Chains A and B, each alone.
Chain A
């Protein structure tokens, strides 16, 4: 199971379509950091529209990826979080630190312009 990375101009799009298991997290982070450092993209967009549950493990993975990207000089925008997931995260007292969120891909591209 590999998560595809797609380059759009000087941005990198990562579309996570299914729950990630532990062993995939490390390789996903590595793939993303490699791609950012070799191609020098300035923006990372993480599409979560296919995700129907966000637990603390998943939230931490997103935070870590955002942190990696920031160190390498790229901003991260998370798109497509379903409203019920956003509400649940807030009630759980969790937040996606250091990453911006936006409603859809177009808005994300605008933010990263």
Chain B
């Protein structure tokens, strides 16, 4: 897989940059071997796209390179509209989840700004899971009704949010953070619901509609 991507990049941007871009993309996810990379093909290609943008190439050129890359991998063509379940167990899973959310949002047709809002929301939710509950899951659910949307469900069996009303009214002073994360999510998303029980866990459901 690495070889395939590399060969295209060499033709497009030369050996030196191709190597740096590809190494950067693999490094970003902390992977070395191709075997671990298979699941991460889409995130890796997304990192490649970001690096190409960073090279000050024309965006039409970047799009061309990406089309070439995607045509080599049939699995990318499969529409990214399936539900996606992501286990959140370590800090590495945070960036993985935010990247997957961004890609999914892109595939569904969200604009760049909304892709950023969605990825940021997932970053806040998953960091809370790691910080307060230890582990949990995030599910990305495309809603393909008249109004296309992305629903994100974050669940854990942690201690629960005991002072939810203080948190959401902004009067809560977090010891570990700024106490901004949940309020921020509420502002970034179109719909925001929290179900939490002390000692049982927390389930947060947010929805963002495509404008």
A residues touching B (Cβ–Cβ < 8 Å)? 17-19, 21-23, 49-50, 52-57, 59-60, 84-85, 87-88, 91-94
* Closest 7 A/B residue pairs (Cβ): A92-B184, A55-B123, A84-B116, A84-B113, A56-B180, A21-B91, A19-B95
B178 interface residue per 8 A CB criterion:
yes
Interface residues of chain B: helix, strand, loop or mixed (majority): helix
Contact A56 B116 (CB under 8 A): no
Interface range on chain B (Cβ under 8 Å from partner): 20 to 34
CB neighbours (8 Å) of A18 from chain B are: 27-28
- Besides A50-B54, A52-B119, A56-B178, 9 more A-B contacts (Cβ < 8 Å) are A17-B24, A18-B28, A52-B50, A53-B116, A53-B120, A59-B178, A85-B116, A87-B113, A88-B113
> Known: A87-B113, A88-B188, A92-B120. Is A57-B54 also a contact (CB below 8 A)?
no
> Known: A21-B92, A49-B54, A53-B116. Is A93-B180 also a contact (CB below 8 A)?
yes
Interface pairs (28), CB distance under 8 Å: A18-B27, A21-B91, A22-B91, A49-B54, A50-B54, A52-B116, A53-B102, A53-B123, A55-B124, A55-B127, A56-B124, A56-B178, A56-B181, A57-B123, A60-B177, A84-B113, A87-B113, A88-B116, A88-B117, A88-B188, A91-B187, A92-B183, A92-B188, A93-B180, A93-B184, A93-B187, A94-B180, A94-B184
